[in-house]
Every structure is written in structure tokens, then in C-alpha cells.
Amino acid sequence: MWMWVVHRVTGVAIFFFLLVHVLDTSLVRVSPEAYNEVIGSYKTPLYGLVEAGLVAAILLHGFNGLRIIAVDRSTWALRHQRQLVWAVWIAFAVLMVPFLWRHLGHVFGGA
């Protein structure tokens, strides 16, 4: 039930970011200055945290999607679907920790 909510909420968040992300990237057709100015705002601490949330949403949605496929396709996965929820969160954490380490270093460390 909760993973169903997580899947919907992360899906909607990713969709709206995707619309904005194509629009901001389209500024490369306007001028290098216009693109660099807008993408510069993505490097501020606030946006840095929003990006971290976005990467989290993508990883959760993706891994939970794989769990849904597995549960539909195999009776083993269906019987172990609760453990697979744990597997989703563990895989999520395993990728998020090094990502946050590096990304927040870039955002806050000025590296």
C-alpha cells in the first residue's frame, strides 16, 4: 500500500521535473549565456537539495517498478514481496549514500 503511494507520488514529481528539464535544456538554442545563467541556479544549495530529492524519487520509482514486474512475473517474488520492499529500500540506500556524498560535496564544497 505504501509503496503504491510512493510510486504515484514519485512518478508525478518526476513527470513535472521532466517538463521543466526539457525547457531549461532548450535554452542552449537561445544562447550560451541564457543556458549558463539558468543552469547556474541549479548549482545553488536549495536546488542542490531538490536535485538530491529528484534522484531519490527516480531511484525509488525505478527499483519499485522492478519489484512490481518481479511480483507479477514470478510466484517466488509474489510470496516474498514484503522482503522485496526491503530490497528496494536497501538498493536505494546503497546508491543514494555515495551519490549524496559526491553531489552534496559539489553543491556545498564548491569543488
Contact footprint for other proteins (CB under 8 A):
8, 11-12, 14-15, 18-19, 22-23, 25-26, 28-29, 31-33, 35-36, 39, 42-43, 48, 51, 55, 58-59, 62-63, 65-66, 69, 98-99, 102-103, 105-107, 110-111
Closest CA to 70 of 83, 54, 89: 83
Q: How far is CA 37 from CA 10, 19, 34, 86, 93, in A?
A: 28, 19, 5, 41, 33
CB of 76 to other proteins, least distance (A): 17
Residue type, 82: R
CB of 49 to other proteins, least distance (A): 12
